[in-house]
Amino acid sequence: MSIADTMKGLIFKKKAELNGDPLDPRNAGATMVRGRREGEVENPYLAARRTWNDHVGSIVSQRQTWQVIGILSLLIALAGVGGVIHIGSQSKFIPYVVEVDKLGQMVAAGPVTAAAKADPRVVHASVAEFIGDARIVTPDVALQRKAVFRVYAKLSPNDPATAKMNEWLNGHPEASPFKRAEKEMVNVEIKTVLQQSPDTWQVDWVETSRDRQGIVKGQPVTMRALVTVYTAEVSSQTTDEQLRNNPMSVFVRDFSWSRIL
């Protein structure tokens, strides 16, 4: 028998003995009793390692628990701060109106409530005023300036109507009503203002152009426009001048006009 065969026999014999010994600590199928395998001799090194593992494991578990508690506390705190900010941003003052007569005696009193939706008659008048102010040309510079201010008081910077009005009034030098007033005057006569939808109105009017001597230039022109409007609440950025020029906060979102042939 060779040396190789002898070594092979010893190895397989040792493995067989280990697999057949149920009390061998290296047996993977052995059951655990009091922290060690059944039949295993108490080992201070293994006991110390197990104690250390238990200690470290408890620390890790406690740390994870406190992390979860900390995250939950942070979320609760953020929600509370957000609620306080929301409550603080709301106005605590309630306007109270007191009306008196000529003798100084109180006639009516009560808190100010939110304004209702603008009356259709008010919107009707605002649309007619918008067309008249946008199309009029007058030699009175102060009157023309007031008309332009009233037009822009009904326009919001983010609406397409603003860009269209800028193009109409300032598209080229001859389009400016102040420049046109040097040669002519334009009178605007509103004929009809009809509501086509909850937000859109149709306006028909007649424009009469005259020179600076008051002589009519050509035939009067009949025009038609579709004006889309909406109402908005008064904000802190609204100026007193805007409130005077547009007290009902009726804004023009879009418009288009053309001649009627």
> What is residue 81's predicted lDDT score, i.e. its pLDDT?
92
> What is residue 29's predicted lDDT score, i.e. its pLDDT?
54
Q: Structure pTM?
A: 0.57
For the record, the structure tokens of 38 come out as 């059944």
Q: What is the mean pLDDT of each run of 10 residues along the chain (261 residues)?
A: 52 45 50 59 72 80 90 93 86 73 71 68 93 94 94 92 93 83 93 94 96 90 96 76 84 95 82
Strand order across the beta sheet in which 250-259 lies: 184-195, 200-211, 221-231, 250-259
Helix runs in the chain, H state only: 3-20, 44-89, 120-135, 141-153, 160-170, 177-180, 240-245
Residue 123's nearest CA partner among 187, 197, 191, 186 is: 197
> What is residue 261's predicted lDDT score, i.e. its pLDDT?
82
Q: At what angle do helices 120-135 and 141-153 cross, to 10 degrees?
A: 130
User: Hey, what domains does the chain have and what are their CATH numbers?
Assistant: 120-259 (3.10.450.230)
* H/E element, 159: none
Contacts of 110 (CB under 8 A, 6+ apart): 96, 97
> What is residue 226's predicted lDDT score, i.e. its pLDDT?
97
